[in-house]
Structure 1
Amino acid sequence: MKSDASSLHSPLGSSPVENSRVKDLTRLVAPVQIKKELPSTLTIQHLVLESREVERRILRGKDQRIMVIVGPCSIHDTQAALEYAARLAKLKHRVAERFHIIMRVYFEKPRTTVGWKGFINDPYLNDSCDLARGIALARKLLIDILELGLPTGTEFLDPIIPQYIGDLISWSAIGARTTESQTHRELASGLSMPVGFKNSTDGSIQTAIDAMRSARIPHSFLGMDQNGRTSIIKTTGNPDSHIVLRGGREGSNYEPHQTAAAVELLRKAGLPLAIMVDCSHSNSGKDPHRQPLVWENVLEQRAAGRRDIIGMMLESNLRSGSQALPQDLSQLQYGVSITDSCMDWETTERLLLTKDPT
């Protein structure tokens, strides 16, 4: 992969009125070039398109399976991610009649204040922030996972990143901190895959509903084309969206009366009746041991007729818990999250093999 080596430094210029707080500029290789170096294949393209179509059918109630987005809170170790993917790919076939499995492959992490911003921003975990290398490594990992026959899902944070990896993603999320952002609503309106909008961090579902309404209509905004040139992007609007309930500052929002209230808000807004429950975050109090309780509760709701719950999300890794990012990277525990705490693989497997009450 030559992507990191092909970045060029650009002079800042000497103007006293601009770039006064910019230390450096690095010209990034264009998306078209990275795709030449790390191309998709016809088999991968078919898998991505097939998975997106399954998700659309689930959103419209034409496929009664539950969509499950499952995987690490964030990717920081490609070797561990591939080991996880290999296990999930095998399990996917065993549960295919009940669940549509998509691996959670999150490369960008929004921070409330400060912290590691994710694999694309800092792939070496040392504040070197080699984004060129991060993008190339992220694309390579997605290709490797897809070659196992496993669809991938991610959260898009930087509006430029989809130009580099969007062709490899079958489902995407707009996070709780960005659902209210006009930039991200415009971005979602042009994405080629279904999009889940999370309720805001304060628990507001209306914010996600407003985002869905905005993303469904055409937009025009500034962006970047495949050759890396600043362009005016005109979109058609994205009808394939849904809410993701992740709880909020006041606690969880997955209980039957809360999912019913969310569906009623969608109905009043004239939007598709489709919600996903995030079993982690505020719904579990960020305690991975509580994710199974949320999972079982939602399966019971489905069994009781709550068919507008179309999916669930699980934060899961090879090993349970989380770890602080150490100064000495050799001290990192293999297969343990460096962001939110995750369930271990054994618990994940048990949940996915649980008989669907429906």
Structure 2
Amino acid sequence: MTHQALENLNIDSFDRMPSPAEVHAALPVPDAVAETVAGGRRDLQRILTREDPRLMVVVGPCSIHDPVAGLDYAQRLKALSDEVSDTLLLVMRVYFEKPRTATGWKGFINDPRMDDSFHIEEGMRKARAFLLRIGEVGLPTATEALDPNTPQYIGDLISWTAIGARTSESQTHREMSSGLSTPVGFKNATDGDLAAAVNAILSASRPHSFLGLNDQGSAAIVRTKGNAHGHLVLRGGGGRPNYDTVSIALAESALRKAGLPENIVVDCSHANSHKNPRLQPLVLQDCAHQILRGNRSIVGMMVESFLEEGSQPIPADLATLRYGCSVTDACLGWDDTAAMLRETRALLKDHLPKRRNAS
């Protein structure tokens, strides 16, 4: 008797993906880069535990699509980081995966050639190579963890991880976060609700066991210890911002009720700026003034920024892409980014040490 096919009915093919160990072996981590990554993690943990009074700022392109422009940005950001490092810890936003509401470019790892050819193996190698270059520049990096297998390939080069508004409620991402080696920021839901993110922080702080991938590329039962450095990221929602003093107070109350540290990062983009990059400096300025007026829960900010302001659609002829301009969400331009961060440093440099002394 011939059995009817029962599985893989909608699968076109299985193409081999190199294992994490193979990709690591081809692109190993030099000692200097390892120290940059580890140092960034230590600094971020110290900010979250209030041993370091500085403000963390995750800043960079909405997504990486051009490694040349991305490296150009990183070199500028490193110089600025050295200038403001007494007050601000700058962490470069290096996002390779983009969650899509329906369709659209899924990011550099998934489609590095930006032509729907989906050479994921190529994208993973190029993403790791890019992170190594940023580490050589001397900047810690931040990314969003979307695919649960990706951290096995590039997680050793990341200092801070975000779990997005669409995935904070996902059990898979909460379990994954419990095993990540970085501090993890959980964003509130797209409608502005805080409960999913607060529950995610609690869940990720506990040990978990789940099906995952080991460094040899084999299925494995992953058993985690729990992540003690989860925190809340406010990004607005439902078309409304949530960085105002009332929203911050409500977020503090939700964290306190859950028995969690009152650590809040404010995302200056998304609904908090109505996706208008020119409003991002106003969000940052407002939060800086809240800190000056006594706020102690805001420990960081996020900014979408690139060399050129705005965004552009992906053209059929990639040669016509504007250099240094986002192909996903609109970004603040470099000059305005540098100005806002210098202004923030000037506002807070004498005040932030007082927050530590008062603890």
Smaller-chain TM-score bracket: over 0.9
Residue of structure 2 in register with 1:261 after alignment:
250
Q: Residues of 1 paired with 2:81 and 2:296: CA distance?
A: 22
SS of corresponding position for 1:310: strand
- Note the 1:137-176 alignment, pairs <5 A: 137-176=126-165
SS of corresponding position for 2:241: coil
SS of corresponding position for 2:172: helix
CA positional deviation for 1:228: 0.4
Q: Residues of 2 paired with 1:15 and 1:276: CA distance?
A: 53
Residue of structure 2 in register with 1:6 after alignment:
none
SS of corresponding position for 2:236: coil
Cα 1:296–1:22, aligned 2, differ >3 Å: closer, same or farther? Answer: same
Q: Which letter does structure 1 place at the counterpart of 2:301? A: M
Residue 142 of structure 2 corresponds to residue 189 of structure 1: no
CA positional deviation for 1:261: 0.9
CA positional deviation for 1:15: 6.6
Residue of structure 2 in register with 1:326 after alignment:
315
Q: Quick check: 1:263–1:273 contact (8 Å CA) kept in 2?
A: yes
Residue of structure 2 in register with 1:121 after alignment:
110
Residue of structure 1 in register with 2:238 after alignment:
249
- Note the 1:308-327 alignment, pairs <5 A: 308-327=297-316
- Note the 1:288-303 alignment, pairs <5 A: 288-303=277-292
Q: Residues of 2 paired with 1:263 and 1:43: CA distance?
A: 38
Residue of structure 2 in register with 1:35 after alignment:
24
Q: Residues of 2 paired with 1:343 and 1:15: CA distance?
A: 56
Residue of structure 2 in register with 1:57 after alignment:
46
SS of corresponding position for 2:15: strand
SS of corresponding position for 1:147: helix
- Note the 1:217-228 alignment, pairs <5 A: 217-228=206-217
Q: Residues of 2 paired with 1:320 and 1:285: CA distance?
A: 16
Q: TM-score, normalised by structure 2?
A: 0.95
Q: Which letter does structure 2 place at the counterpart of 1:356? A: L
Q: TM-score, normalised by structure 1?
A: 0.95
Q: Quick check: 2:239–2:274 contact (8 Å CA) kept in 1?
A: no
Q: Residues of 1 paired with 2:57 and 2:236: CA distance?
A: 18
Q: Residues of 1 paired with 2:284 and 2:207: CA distance?
A: 36
Moved more, 347-356 or 105-114: 347-356
Q: Residues of 2 paired with 1:15 and 1:245: CA distance?
A: 50
Residue of structure 1 in register with 2:354 after alignment:
none
Residue of structure 1 in register with 2:77 after alignment:
88
Residue 101 of structure 2 corresponds to residue 112 of structure 1: yes
SS of corresponding position for 1:100: strand
Q: Residues of 2 paired with 1:336 and 1:56: CA distance?
A: 32
User: Which string of whole-angstrom CA distances, capped at 9 and with x for unpartnered residues, describes residues 77-124 of structure 1?
Assistant: 000000000000111100001101100000000001110000000000
Q: Quick check: 1:120–1:135 contact (8 Å CA) kept in 2?
A: yes
Percent identity over the alignment is 51
Q: Residues of 2 paired with 1:15 and 1:73: CA distance?
A: 47
CA positional deviation for 1:198: 0.3
Q: Residues of 2 paired with 1:28 and 1:305: CA distance?
A: 51
| Aligned-CA RMSD value | 0.9
Q: Residues of 1 paired with 2:253 and 2:55: CA distance?
A: 20
CA positional deviation for 1:216: 0.3
**Pairing partner for 2:341 from 342, 349, 352:** 352
The gaps in structure 1 that reach 5 residues or longer are 1-13
SS of corresponding position for 1:27: coil
